[in-house]
Amino acid sequence: MTTGIFETKFEVDKVRFHMFDVGGQRDERRKWIQCFNDVTAIIFVCASSSYNLVLWEDSTQNRLRESLALFKNIWNNRWLKTISVILFLNKQDLLSEKIKAKRYLLESYFPEFANYQLPSDAVFDAADDKDVVRAKYFIRGEFLKPNIVKFLVRIPHCFQRISTAAGDGRHHCYPHFTCAVDTENIRRVFNDCRDIIQRIHLRQYELL
């Protein structure tokens, strides 16, 4: 559980990154505004396996629903309309364990999951557990609903990249399925930030 603001600097392929880690608890959120000035992107990390848990500060509120509401507030915040969001749907390993165990059924907490159908861009192997695949794409879909990320436009040949036509087109969401031990997370951040910066330069020259 993160409290306060932690600053980290690192380098990937000779590109310097300056990252701030902020607490997600309700009483920590008022500190966020200190970090949002002149940022390239916001990394939003959600514990996908938290669908059956409640907040420690509010035992009546489901954790995943709280994350969805918070993501929506950040995405639609008028001061962040030009800031892209890298969405890490984390703890996929724990989500898989829960779904397979069938002890905590996702539809018990999200009834709409019962009739959920996989989207056309779903990518999986024949050996993958179908219930797990449905669960992770359902959760992704909840974050990318039109009433949250408005006016979705899918970019061909890039299922992980969702852009919005809202506003002036400077607001993009990059969702990823991850787990805590995934060593590719930093590379994903690097690739997404590179794409975001390229878009900024293209807009400056009116090419996008």
Domain boundaries, the chain: 5-204
Rounded CA gap, 132 and 110, in Å? 15
Of 73, 68, 208, nearest in space to 142 by CA: 68
Residue 19 pairs in a beta bridge with: 8
3-state secondary structure 136-157: HHHHHHHHCCCCCCCCEEECCC
Q: Which residues are annotated as a binding site for GTP?
A: 21-25, 90-93, 180
Q: Which residues are annotated as a binding site?
A: 2, 21-25, 90-93, 180
Name the band, by pLDDT with cuts 50, 70 and 90, for residue 189. Answer: confident
Would you say 106 and 99 are in contact if contact means Cβ atoms under 8 Å apart?
Answer: yes
Burial 115-148 (b: 16+ CB within 10 A, else e): ebeeeeeeeeeeeeeeebbbbbbbbbbbbbeeeb
Q: Which two tokens stand for residue 25?
A: 């608890």
Residue 116: phi and psi, rounded to 5, are -70, 135
Task: Please give the share of the chain, as a percent, with pLDDT higher than 70.
Answer: 73
Q: Which residues are annotated as a binding site for Mg(2+)?
A: 2
Taking only the tens place, the pLDDT of each residue in 5-52 is: 677 777 777 777 777 666 655 555 565 665 666 778 888 889 999 999
Instruction: Identify the DSSP state of 32.
Output: G
Name the band, by pLDDT with cuts 50, 70 and 90, for residue 191. Answer: confident
Helix (H) or strand (E) holding 5: strand 5-12
With 0-12 / 13-18 / 19 or more C-beta atoms within 10 angstroms meaning exposed / middle / buried, residue 76 is: middle
Rounded CA gap, 62 and 60, in Å? 7
pLDDT attached to residue 111: 98
Beta strands 172-177 and 84-90: pairing type? parallel
Helix axes 130-143, 63-75, angle to 10 degrees: 40
Q: Mean pLDDT, to the nearest integer, of 153-161?
A: 41
Claim: this prediction has a pTM higher than 0.85: no
Rounded CA gap, 208 and 203, in Å? 5
- Average pLDDT of the chain, as a whole number: 79
Taking only the tens place, the pLDDT of each residue in 68-122 is: 998 998 888 888 888 888 899 999 999 999 999 999 999 999 999 999 999 998 9
pLDDT attached to residue 95: 98
Architecture of domain 5-204: 3-Layer(aba) Sandwich (3.40)
pLDDT attached to residue 198: 77
For residue 65, pLDDT beyond 80: yes
